[in-house]
Each structure stands twice: as structure tokens, then as C-alpha cells.
Amino acid sequence: MPDRKPVVLAVIDGLTPGAFESADLPALRFLAEHGEYRRASSVFPSLTPVCLASIVTGTHPDGHHIPHLVWWHRGEHRLVEYGSSFGAVRAAGLARSLRDTIVDLNAKHLSRDVSTVYETLEDRGLTTAAVNITCYRGRNRHLPTIPGVPAVYGPKRFFFYSLYESDRTGAPLAVRSRALGSIDAYAAFVGRWLVTRDGFDLLVYYLPDYDFASHAAGPNATPQALARSDAAIAALLDAAGGPEAFLERYAIVVCSDHGQSAVTEVARLDVGGDLVTASNRAAMVYTDEPRRVAEQLDREPSAGIVVFLEDGRLVARRDGDEDLALLDAVPDGRVRAAAALANPNAGEVLVSAAPGFEFVDLAGRHHLGGGSHGSLEPADSEVPMLTVGLGPAPASITGVAPLVVEHLRDA
């Protein structure tokens, strides 16, 4: 069944198209030479929890309801903070933030009106596996490896930073030395174990260490980190008996969730009395007066494109200029802006940071001199998208789940 091969979906967090295209690394280069490649667009805000939910559900934020790294929960009258920084997590309450990030994003915040790729495929009797991806909702209950942490529902084979492990693989602890790539090394160990056993129809293989390095060093200053991501993918090829043997057995998607921009200036966004939730290069304002707030932001240098709805109609402003054509200058701008605003958990005004700027988070943290993302601008919004054995690469990260589901239709 050559066209119904099991699929590996490898997500290298924060990998830019430029870094991918210029990478001279054995696994990525071999796959690129055998596949179909294009630059694809992310969603808005181009931040990991939002993007991973889009990759896993095949919807923009209006479908999956994850709005930002930090947002106001209208039903519970409180902030949700998924880990903008350790300081922000502490400011929002450590236990609460960890629960929001690890458990409730999946159990409560992710819309029940959409299915994850794990749910869709396992409802058909297929086996899905996920390693370290924070959007994992599935049908199988998993107990934690340490006491005091709730059980969660995930794919049949589920490995999450040593905290949930559906199978005993002998993998070392995930979070030992983050800067040296210990999380991707953990993923590689588990991935090798899964490929050796042919243990899945879909493996979602999430590699976050590259983004961690890019935030610290800037978008294009992290070749060693990319070499470690490449090694984690090479581990899968090796486990299958080499690159050619791997492609005889599996189809693969390699993509990223968002891009990365250099941060040269930081700003604290303040619009008077209304609540602002800001992190990285996107902010939301919860307000009864969206037009007043948007016009006030005309004078704010850190604000790039500002969008809101007026009588149900999308409005875009930048520096006092009000014109939807502003959105045509950024990837998939009108679709992404409209979908972000239509998310019931989003603020009424969404702010895409101007190039070079980053908004400080709840604790005042930022990545000045390093990298950040979240805006509608091309640097944050374009991602590499490579498919091998699956036909043309999709134009948006929302196209990945439908592509995989269609490929496995008669598996």
C-alpha cells in the first residue's frame, strides 16, 4: 500500500523558511530533495499555543478558540497564561499557569466543536502518537508519572516531557539541560522507540528547542540548535534502517508553527483603563470601545496593524491610515485577522507589533537583542512546509491536519 504509508509530522518550533532553505544538514536536506516544498503561512497571533492548535485541528483560532499566550477568560473572570516567561507564569500564579498550559488548554479551552487529528484518526480505528506537543487532546486516559498531577486524555501513544508516558521506553528525563537540547533529545529517544516498533499511523513529533534558542539569540543565529533538530529527525530515519528505508515505510511532513523576528525595541502597551493582554509580538485589548482604542494606538510606535470589528465588519488601521488593503501586505492577512477576531476568547482589538518591537509580558519580560514572534508581519508569519509522499505542501499550517486525514482515508 505505497500511498497509505503511516505519517510522521515533525514540527520544528520557530523555524523560519530562510533558516530551513539554507540549512545544510543531512536529514533535512535528504527529505527536501525527495519532497515538495513551499513557504506557508501561520495563523494570527503567530504564537505557539495558537499555532499548534491550528496544526492539530486544521482550523484558525475562530475554530479552536485558543486566542493567545495570555488571555482573559470571560467565563471565569481571570487571566490565562500559557508560559510567556517564567516571570509571567509566576505573576499569573505558578500552579494555575501550569494547569492551564499542561491540562486545561486541552481539557477545557480547546473547542469541543472541532476534532483534533488524533480524535479523527483514532475514531476510525487508527493509532496516533504524540511526543511533547502541548496540543494533544485525544480519547485515551493517561495517568501522570508523578503524583499530584491530573490524568489527561491524549492519543493512544502519548509522551509528554516525562510527565505522561503511555509506554515504558527507558527514555531519560526530558527537562535536564534545556539550552543543550535535552527536550529534543528526549523526543529523539521516544521517536526511535516508536519507529522501531512501527507503533503508529500518525506520529506528531514536536521539537521545541530551536524556538527556545532563537528567542535567546535571534532568528538566524542558531545553527547549532537546528543541527540538534536535524539530529532528532535523523534518529527516526536511522531507526527505520536509513533514509531510503524510512521513505519506503513512511510519509513525512516537516514544518514549523511560526517564524521569528529580531527584537530591537520593547514597549509596554497601555490604553488607559481597558485590559491589555500582551506577550511577544501580539497584544489583545478587552474593551467596549474598540474604535477609540484603535485610534489611540495610531500614535503608539510599537503598534503595527491594529484590527477590530465594527458592525460585524473587519477594520484595519496603522498609524492613522484605515484601509483593509493594509492586510494585503502581510501573508494571508485578511483571513488571519478576521479569524483571530472571530475567536470568542479574543479581545475586541488585536494589535500586531510593528517590525522590531516586542511587547513586554505580565512580568515585564522580553527578548531584547534576541528573537520573538506573534505578529501578522511576514517574518513571524511565514513557515517552511515540506511534504514527502503526501502530494503538494499546503499553503497554511491549517492545511496539515486535513492533508494527513485525507492521506490515511483508506488506511
Q: Which helix (H) or strand (E) holds 217?
A: helix 209-217
Instruction: Kindly tell me which of 35 and 331 has the beta carbon lying closer to Zn ion.
Output: 331
Residue 169 vs residues 106, 164, 194, 201: alpha-carbon distances, Å: 25, 12, 9, 19
Mask for 72-101, x = binds Zn ion (CB under 5 A): ------------------------------
Instruction: Kindly tell me which of 211 and 382 has the beta carbon lying closer to Zn ion.
Output: 211
Q: Which of residues 283-302 bind Zn ion (CB under 5 A)?
A: none
**Contact present, 37 and 386 (Cβ < 8 Å):** yes
Instruction: Kindly tell me which of 14 and 389 has the beta carbon lying closer to Zn ion.
Output: 14
Mask for 158-197, x = binds Zn ion (CB under 5 A): ----------------------------------------
Beta bridge partners of 152: 142
Between CA 16 and CA 383 the distance in angstroms is 6
The residue sitting closest to Zn ion, measured at its beta carbon, is 211
The amino acid occupying position 12 is I
Window of 38-46, 204-212, 351-359, 361-369 that interacts with Zn ion by CB under 5 A:
204-212
Q: With binding defined as CB under 5 A, does residue 238 bind Zn ion?
A: no
3-class SS at 395? coil
Between CA 77 and CA 79 the distance in angstroms is 7
Instruction: Kindly tell me which of 327 and 360 has the beta carbon lying closer to Zn ion.
Output: 360
Q: How far is the CB of 287 from Zn ion (least distance, A)?
A: 27
Between CA 365 and CA 263 the distance in angstroms is 13
Other residues' Cβ atoms within 10 Å of the Cβ of residue 364:
12
Instruction: Kindly tell me which of 55 and 327 has the beta carbon lying closer to Zn ion.
Output: 55
Q: How far is the CB of 9 from Zn ion (least distance, A)?
A: 19
Between CA 54 and CA 42 the distance in angstroms is 9
Residue in 356, 385, 344 with CA at minimum distance from that of residue 258: 385
Q: How far is the CB of 373 from Zn ion (least distance, A)?
A: 6
Between CA 122 and CA 155 the distance in angstroms is 8
Q: How far is the CB of 15 from Zn ion (least distance, A)?
A: 11
Instruction: Kindly tell me which of 213 and 350 has the beta carbon lying closer to Zn ion.
Output: 213
Residue in 340, 370, 363, 347 with CA at minimum distance from that of residue 297: 347
Window of 138-146, 211-219, 261-269, 387-395 that interacts with Zn ion by CB under 5 A:
211-219
Instruction: Kindly tell me which of 129 and 278 has the beta carbon lying closer to Zn ion.
Output: 278
Instruction: Kindly tell me which of 169 and 261 has the beta carbon lying closer to Zn ion.
Output: 261
Beta bridge partners of 386: 37, 254
Instruction: Name which position in 211, 238, 332, 361 contacts Zn ion (CB under 5 A).
Output: 211
Q: How far is the CB of 211 from Zn ion (least distance, A)?
A: 4
Window of 163-171, 210-218, 307-315, 361-369 that interacts with Zn ion by CB under 5 A:
210-218
Residues near Zn ion (CB under 5 A), total: 1
Instruction: Kindly tell me which of 243 and 384 has the beta carbon lying closer to Zn ion.
Output: 384
**Contact present, 257 and 47 (Cβ < 8 Å):** no
Q: How far is the CB of 261 from Zn ion (least distance, A)?
A: 11
Name the residue with cell 477545557. 108
Instruction: Kindly tell me which of 54 and 115 has the beta carbon lying closer to Zn ion.
Output: 54
As given in the structure block, the three cell numbers for residue 267 are 514597549
Q: How far is the CB of 223 from Zn ion (least distance, A)?
A: 18
Between CA 225 and CA 221 the distance in angstroms is 9
Any residues with CB less than 8 A from the CB of 326 and at least 6 apart, and which?
A: 305, 316, 317, 318, 333
Window of 187-195, 207-215, 249-257, 333-341 that interacts with Zn ion by CB under 5 A:
207-215
Residues 91-124: b if buried by 16+ CB within 10 A, e if exposed: bbeeeebbbbbbbbbbeebbbeebbbbbbbbbee
Identify the sign of the CA torsion 212, 213, 219, 225: negative
Q: How far is the CB of 11 from Zn ion (least distance, A)?
A: 12
Instruction: Kindly tell me which of 165 and 211 has the beta carbon lying closer to Zn ion.
Output: 211
3-class SS at 49? helix
Q: How far is the CB of 183 from Zn ion (least distance, A)?
A: 14
Task: Catalog residues that contact Zn ion under the rule CB under 5 A.
Answer: 211
